[in-house]
Amino acid sequence: MGLSRRRFISRLAAGGGYGAAYAGMQALGLLSTAPAQAAPALPAAFGGGRKVTVLGAGIAGLVAAHQLEKAGFAVTVLEARERVGGRTWTIRDGDRVEMRGENDQVARLSKGLYFNAGPARIPSHHQGVLDYCKALGVPLEVEVNTSRSALLQSDGALAGRPVQQRQVVNDVRGQISELLAKAADRGALNADLTTDDRERLLSFLKLYGDLQPDLAYRGSERSGYVTAPGAGEDAGTRRPPLDLRDLLRGESTPNILFEDNILMQATMFQPAGGMDRLPRALAGSLKGPVRLGAEVLSIRQTPGAAEVAWRERRTGAVRRLASDYLVVTLPLSTLAQVETDFDPAFKAAISGAVQDQAAKVAFDAPRFWEAEQIYGGLSFPSGGTGAVWYPSNDFNAPRGLLVAAYMVAKPAAAFQARPLNEQVALARAAVERLHPGQSDKLTAPIVVNWNKIPFNLGPWLHWNADGNNLAAYRQLLAPQGRIHLAGAHLSHLPSWQEGAVASAHRTVANIAEQARTFRLAGA
């Protein structure tokens, strides 16, 4: 006599556990094999009060908790810090910055200033994050990610002097256009272009590069003025074009392509008042408890439950919490230090993951950059300290929060190895190279070395670099029984909040499918 689908799934679950039942349902076409990016549409009573524990109150954990509660699950969130947000961290006056191996810093910022130590911008195509901002009433303002008034400075070119980005962009464009136009005009491209094509190309290059009728580039008002146009006979004086050879030698010149990266749009968004407005709104939307200061010690599971042991950091008391499902959003560098009964290969994938490096240094300062026509955007100095990032809020206010150094990867690793006072000095020197005579106005430095931040120990990780591999990534996408991992590190946007949202949505969908499996199996 043939088995019904329900009995078949029940026997798979009894003999091989949830994994076998899950695979069997996929093989029978009962479950989708495609990961979900949007939040699954689940009935409000779907969860039936079944318990879920979420480890980590970053964006992934809070989004997962939000969606699971909407579907009728009873959710508890455990967070080791005394705040929500995880890497989405906004520092204000009086906040303490704790880093391993360093003395604590206490922020001393002017009224109204804040420092987004982690994420600080949202692209327009990150609709998951933007949708939560809209749904939860988090007000947004424009973040000026690129300003042509911001600066480029290279030690090996142009005598090390800072140059407005508009001049570098347009002088490079004009002189490359001249070279291409002259090559086409003398027939060097005849093998690739018809006569009509060549005429159309020349017409375009004259416009694109602002070329003269003889196809020469002699400068352009697009590159700015030495003296600005005024009234009467004052037509202004255009800047003479920079030498292409000097521009090509400049180590900062490639940054003119910054906004061409799809993730680095010229104008983006930021929550008004600080990026942590979003995780605070998500946490405020939850009915279940968000327990702060709860450090996870161990993770275990039985056939019927997942159990977490955690310590109250304030009192030292150890507590245990059992639930039907467990969502783990801890960074892998932190999870590797937690006792678990995961499969050995799964543990190896966690412990073998290598975090990237990232560091930021910020100052409280008078807005001297606005007197240089810089309102938001990033400048790029030499010296290995990365970008200088100007605030996009409260223009014309007396003071602003200036990120004087922001770097990732190898430069960040070398930077973080230095004493904090040297890091501050290097960041101050970068500002001095861009804005001579202004660096002594920088006050109240804050240094954030992400690889020293407790419960992070790194900013993000890329699975196709730094010794990581996609095989480990794929392994971590699968649940361990009732335990599911989530986070930006389990997405293809590991350094963005959108990756955390997408991963949380995927995990909620997987838990829903798991719940259906258990119901069919009678578990």
Distances in Å between the Cα of 468 and the Cα atoms of 164, 209, 473 are: 39, 43, 8
| Amino acid 260: pLDDT | 95
Q: Whole-structure pTM over 0.75, yes or no?
A: yes
For the chain, the helix, strand and coil percentages under 3-state DSSP, each to the nearest 5: 35, 20, 40
Alpha helices in 71-214 (DSSP H): 127-135, 165-185, 195-208
DSSP 8-state secondary structure symbol assigned to residue 438? -
Domains of the chain: 5-84+281-353+460-521 (3.50.50.60), 90-150+265-275+356-452 (3.90.660.10), 165-250 (1.20.1440.240)
Whole-angstrom Cα distance, residue 475 to residue 486? 13
| Amino acid 523: pLDDT | 57
| Amino acid 195: pLDDT | 96
| Amino acid 251: pLDDT | 93
Closest CA to 389 of 374, 399, 371: 374
Residue numbers in the chain where pLDDT is lower than 70? 1-37, 520-523
Which tokens hold the place of 39? 């939040």
| Amino acid 153: pLDDT | 97
Whole-angstrom Cα distance, residue 296 to residue 321? 11
Positive or negative CA dihedral for 511, 512, 516, 519? positive
| Amino acid 137: pLDDT | 98
Distances in Å between the Cα of 104 and the Cα atoms of 79, 127, 358, 446 are: 20, 36, 19, 10
| Amino acid 517: pLDDT | 80
141, 130 contact by CB (below 8 A):
no
